[in-house]
Amino acid sequence: MTDTVATFDESEIIAIREKYRSERDKRLRDDGNDQYIEVTGEYSSYVEDPYIDQPIVREPRTDQVDVVVVGGGFGGLLTAGNLRESGIDDLMVIEKGGDFGGTWYWNRYPGAMCDIESYTYLPLLEELGSMPSEKYVKAKEILAHSAAIGRHYDLYERTLFQTEVTEVRWNEERQRWIVSTDRGDAVEARFVAMANGPLHRPKLPGIAGINDYRGHTFHTSRWDYEYTGGDPEGGLDRIADKRIAVIGTGATAIQCVPHLGAGAKELFVFQRTPSCVDERNNVPTDEEWAASLEPGWQMQRMENFNNLVSGIPEPVDLVNDGWTDIIGKTVRLVREGRDNPNLDVASLVERADLEKMNEIRSRVDTLVGDPAIAESLKPWYRQFCKRPCFHDEYLDTYNRPTVHLVDTDGRGVKRITETGIVIADPNGGPDDELEFEVDCIVFATGFEVGTDHSRRAGYEVFGRDGRSITEHWADGTRTLHGLMSHGFPNAFIISPSQGGFTANYPHMLLEVSAHIAHIAGHALNNDLATVEPTVEAEEAWIAKIIEKARQNMAFSESCTPGYYNNEGQPGKRSLQNSSYGSGSKSFFRILERWRDEGEFAGLDMR
């Protein structure tokens, strides 16, 4: 590798910082997360399940079980699986969808696929004796893998599908949780583990006139194949006479835009902030390689990937893709630059980032024919301000004469009318507008992240003395290890807030589900009635989270708004809601050591 860091002189660095700052400032807005509409009431149709063939009809249930697991995505499946491995069979899973899969149940939009290598992303490959067909598999295969985990742990017979939890309430007298649902169930449980998913609640932009629109609309996480034709593999054959709009250009849009572009009469993509799109290079699984793997390979690969994306050097890069390349390069430059007395680590990282982002921007020039469109598609922020994207057809789609990028220059959509979408004319005066008439609007506008937990979960949790989790967390998340809260005995909430965050989310789920099974298993096997963190343990963990988050504050503030930085408002509450700031590896080690010590430190157990 060439010593490229030396090629940037200080004036280039100052100029790029200024460019990033001005692009961020264009997008900063006072309303932050409040710019989005809560998808309830008149907007409820956006979250109806379009995938159910046979609605379940059943009587309400009043079972008494050891554990209720809320959610049947990877988080719920792994928690239930780990509990079964610990000998806890008396459990019930409650899942809103018609099958297991969580995010992969809902996200079946055309082109949906995992953007983390599937050999590390799909949990329990060795346990299930399965091997993904490609390096990055499509949604259908991930959904089938979720079902296979469900079968492996005999969870189908223990699950209430098409059932939405409406309330979780602690009954002090009975020392039990009462889990209520929209089907009139009132299930009693000694423990409750909530795996609601970090990107669970679709969000809609609060664009004026959104309800006036008379054409067809849907959110990407509830794809309407009746309308578009085709399936998650593509082939959208019912929109050849339709003008379609997509609002949003995040990781989801990157994957579905090529299919919409191929199928629609005309496609208009409304962009507020361009994504950073690197190459994908998907390949079928090499059977010889798969046959050569030794037992234990998957966890080794997960750890290798997690270390590399956390900036921890590894002797080999087993995954060798865009994710590990970015960070691997940064780590190498930092190591090489250690002898350079003129540059500190932060400067070297900044230079490595600039080198990578220049590559990303050049890639746009190479792939997009029209220089003005190419210019609009270039991201001007540091790589990890937003989730990096990888795709080999997204940028090329803009070479189709029927596909139009509508660059709102950071302002987003201004209004929606009965017939289409209005933006402020980026080349006109303050009142000049452009209107685009369309037959259908697809909202690729993502999911709620920084809002209250109960709003995202869709139900409230009431602990001791009827105190709600919303009240307890009013000034920010309060937990020990991102999992348990004082006043909410025998309850676990799985989330990245105050827990571990890694690009490979299922890795985190494997670690915390094992931790949950360890605590619940100990309590149930020793007939303990209640387990909850002490006030002191909770306070100490919060202090640690805030202290570490503060170290990353300057970076967060410098970023263009998005859900990574609380929509441009990384303030106190957001500091407290952060993941453990020294990286997921350190976090996993904290949990492991805590378990090994065997003292259940910080937990009050009775």
CB of 13 to ligand NDP, least distance (A): 25
Q: How far is the CB of 567 from ligand NDP (least distance, A)?
A: 7
Range in contact with ligand NDP (rule: CB under 6 A) among 309-317, 364-372, 445-453, 577-585:
445-453
Binder to ligand NDP among 92, 93, 199, 542 (CB under 6 A)? 199
Report CA-CA distances (Å) from 300 to 118, 296, 314, 518: 14, 6, 11, 22
Q: Which is nearer to ligand NDP, 232 or 337 (CB)?
A: 232
Q: Which is nearer to ligand NDP, 115 or 266 (CB)?
A: 115
E-assigned strand segments in 344-469: 389-390, 403-407, 415-416, 420-424, 433-437, 440-443, 460-462
Stretch that binds ligand NDP, among 15-23, 84-92, 188-196, 244-252 (CB under 6 A): 244-252
Nearest Cα to Cα of residue 266 among 12, 137, 440, 382? 440
Residue pair 506/74 in contact (Cβ under 8 Å)? The answer is yes
Q: Which is nearer to ligand NDP, 273 or 468 (CB)?
A: 273
Q: Cβ of residue 450: shortest distance to ligand NDP, in angstroms?
A: 11
Which region among 63-71, 164-172, 228-236, 443-451 touches ligand NDP (by CB under 6 A)? 443-451
Residues from 76 through 115 that contact ligand NDP (CB under 6 A) = 113-115
Applying CB under 6 A, does 562 fall inside the site for ligand NDP? yes
205 lies in the binding site for ligand NDP (CB under 6 A): yes
Query: Per CB under 6 A, does 277 bind ligand NDP?
Result: no
Provide, rounded to whole angstroms, the least separation between the CB of residue 199 and ligand NDP.
Answer: 5
User: In the stretch 20-39, what mask flags binding to ligand NDP with x, by CB under 6 A?
Assistant: -------x------------
Provide the minimum distance between the beta carbon of 446 and ligand NDP in the complex, in angstroms, as a whole number: 3
How does DSSP classify residue 431?
A: T
- Give one DSSP letter per residue of 93-145, joined into a string: EE-SSSSS-THHHH---TT-B-SS-HHHHSTTHHHHT---SBSS-BHHHHHHH
Based on the shown chain and the rule CB under 6 A, indicate whether residue 252 belongs to the binding site for ligand NDP.
yes
Q: Which two tokens stand for residue 75?
A: 């988080």
Nearest to 509 by CA among 602, 578, 584, 457: 584
Q: Quick one: 255 or 578, whose CB is closer to ligand NDP?
A: 255
Is residue 247 within the footprint of ligand NDP (CB under 6 A)? yes
CA distance 389 to 381: 14
Cα-based torsion angle of the residue sequence 185, 187, 193, 196 in order, rounded to the nearest 10 degrees: 0
- Asked if 446 interacts with ligand NDP (CB under 6 A), we say yes
Of 79 and 107, which has the nearer Cβ to ligand NDP? Answer: 107
366 backbone dihedrals φ, ψ, rounded to 5°: -65, -35
| Binding mask of the shown chain, residues 393 to 412, with x at each position contacting ligand NDP by CB under 6 A | -------------------x
Count of residues engaged in binding ligand NDP, rule: CB under 6 A: 28
Q: Are 127 and 145 in contact (CB under 8 A)?
A: no
- Tokens 């378990």 correspond to 595
Question: In angstroms, what is the minimal distance from the CB of 215 to ligand NDP?
Answer: 17
501 is a contact residue toward ligand NDP (CB under 6 A): no
- Measure the CA–CA gap between 391 and 281, rounded to whole angstroms: 8
Is 272 a binder of ligand NDP (CB under 6 A)? Answer: yes
Q: Indicate which single residue of 73, 248, 258, 379 sits in contact with ligand NDP (rule: CB under 6 A).
A: 248
- Strands 204-205 and 266-271: what pairing? unpaired
For 507, the token pair is 């890795």
Pairwise CA distance, residues 298 & 318, whole Å: 11
Q: Figure out which of the listed residues 92, 251, 333, 508 binds ligand NDP, where binding follows CB under 6 A.
A: 251
Query: Is residue 413 close enough to count as binding ligand NDP by CB under 6 A?
Result: yes
Q: Does 387 bind ligand NDP (CB under 6 A)?
A: yes
Stretch that binds ligand NDP, among 153-161, 199-207, 321-329, 358-366 (CB under 6 A): 199-207
203 touches 35 (CB < 8 A): no
Looking at the Cβ atoms of 445 and 498, the one nearer to ligand NDP is 445
| 574 in contact with ligand NDP (CB under 6 A) | no
Q: How many contiguous H segments (helices) and E segments (strands) does the chain have?
A: 20, 22
Amino acid identity at 545:
I
Amino acid letter, 116: I
Residue 249 interacts with ligand NDP (CB under 6 A): yes or no: yes
| Contacts of 559-562 spanning 24+ positions with Cβ under 8 A | 559/24, 559/381, 559/382, 559/385, 559/386, 560/20, 560/23, 560/24, 560/27, 560/273, 560/380, 560/381, 560/385, 560/386, 561/24, 561/27, 561/28, 561/29, 561/32, 561/273, 562/273, 562/385, 562/386
Q: Is 270 in the site for ligand NDP (CB under 6 A)?
A: yes
- What mask, x for binding ligand NDP by CB under 6 A, covers residues 144 to 183? ----------------------------------------
Output the smallest distance, CB 432 to ligand NDP, in A.
18
List the one residue out of 393, 399, 390 whose CA is nearest residue 267.
Answer: 399
Phi, psi of 597 (to 5 degrees): -65, -25
Using the minimum distance from each CB to ligand NDP, give the nearer residue, 308 or 416: 416
Least distance (Å) from ligand NDP to the CB of residue 255? 6
Q: How far is the CB of 118 from ligand NDP (least distance, A)?
A: 10
Q: Which helix (H) or strand (E) holds 278?
A: strand 277-278
Question: At closest approach, how far in Å is the CB of 362 from ligand NDP?
Answer: 22
The tokens of 482 are what? 């991102």
Give me the residues that bind ligand NDP (CB under 6 A), please. 27, 113-116, 199, 205, 207, 247-253, 255, 270, 272-273, 387, 412-413, 444-447, 562-563
